[in-house]
Amino acid sequence: MSYKYKRLDKNDAAVLLVDHQTGLLSLVRDIEPDKFRNNVRALGDLAKFFKLPTILTTSFETGPNGPLIPELKAQFPDAPYIARPGNINAWDNEDFVKAVKATGKKQLIIAGVVTEVCVAFPVLSAIEEGFEVFVVTDASGTFDDLARHSSWLRMSAAGAQLMTWFAVACELHRDWRNDIEGLAKLCSDHLSDYANLIVSHTALTKGK
């Protein structure tokens, strides 16, 4: 059977941000803290740039997991926000599943903490229900490389596509000519090397 390339479609995608909580972020050791928070913000920014329905959820906020990080609250003040009282798998929460299905989208872009639990469990559950799932690897974090790669293998074996936020942005955008300045700003805001590239390009083109 030949391979079928299933691309992200900005008209059929929603973003699920799962358990990016202050307490859980202290467990993330497979990526540097500053880089990780930048990647999470980048995913949030691309969700807003492409006008993707976005759902926030947390687990057991009153316990050690802590509240949602303030950056996401600020980015999405009006997004559906599901504070799960205890469900470890977000898909076990009826309100969360209802919010996901209410978007009407069949492609789910998912990131969260920690990767092998808070991300993997709803990813597997969503795939079982027929959704196409795209995991944003660099906006998801866990204890170490072993935990990360074990969960990546499990999710990819089930059919999830593993991507970085930059790849997600580019696949959604399709063509630079759709909005050169918009995509350039998104990338420059979160990739310092890309910002340098844009500054250099601007200087060269303005000098002509």
Residues acting as catalytic residues: 118
Query: Can you tell me whether residue 206 is helix, strand or coil?
Result: helix
The residue behind tokens 């050690």 is 64
Residue 186 structure tokens: 């998104």
Q: For residue 76, which of 136, 15, 135, 127 has the smallest C-alpha distance?
A: 15
34: Cβ–Cβ under 8 A, 6 or more apart, which residues? none
Q: To 10 degrees, what angle do helices 33-49 and 165-173 make?
A: 20
* Structure-block tokens of residue 147: 């935990």
Nearest CA-CA partner of 20 in 35, 39, 40: 40
d(CA 106, CA 189): 29
Rg, the chain, Cα only: 17
The position carrying tokens 């976005």 is 54
Closest CA to 54 of 159, 136, 137: 136
